Amino acid sequence: MNKLPNQPFGRYRKNHNLKLKDVAYLLKMDEGNLSRFETGKYQNPKAYLGYHFLFNLSIDSPIKDLFYQDNDELIHRCFQLIEILETKSKTNKNRLRLKGLNSIISRLTEQQEKYEDNQ
């Protein structure tokens, strides 16, 4: 698991080849607020937890249990975004975005299974 960033959150998003609007869609957030969050101009617990789950950033807090309750919805929204992207042109960037989303789905599914086993 990655340590919390000493660098902007946007780097983690870009490492998964996702656009700001992709993550805004997944987290059901306004792009402008998410952009301000990524640059450190705006603190947002939902974005903080969302980036933790999407990009495997570590947080040492019991608050993450609250987000696991919405994990199924986050996985569902990943699949919805994949469906949207599959209707777009088959560019290399879109293929990389799909690859990034699939890696997120795999990790979230694995984390959800571990969480449920521990309950």
Extents of the domains making up the chain: 10-117
Above 90 in pLDDT, residue 99? yes
Residues in the chain: 119
Closest by Cα among 71, 76, 52 to 3? 52
Residue-wise pLDDT for 76-89, tens only, equals 999 999 999 999 99
Above 90 in pLDDT, residue 59? no
Residue-wise pLDDT for 13-23, tens only, equals 999 999 999 99
The fraction of the chain above a pLDDT of 90, given in percent, is 50
Above 60 in pLDDT, residue 7? no
Contacts of 54 (CB under 8 A, 6+ apart): 12, 13, 16, 23, 26, 27, 74, 104, 108
The pTM score is 0.65
Which residue type, as a one-letter code, is found at position 18? Answer: L
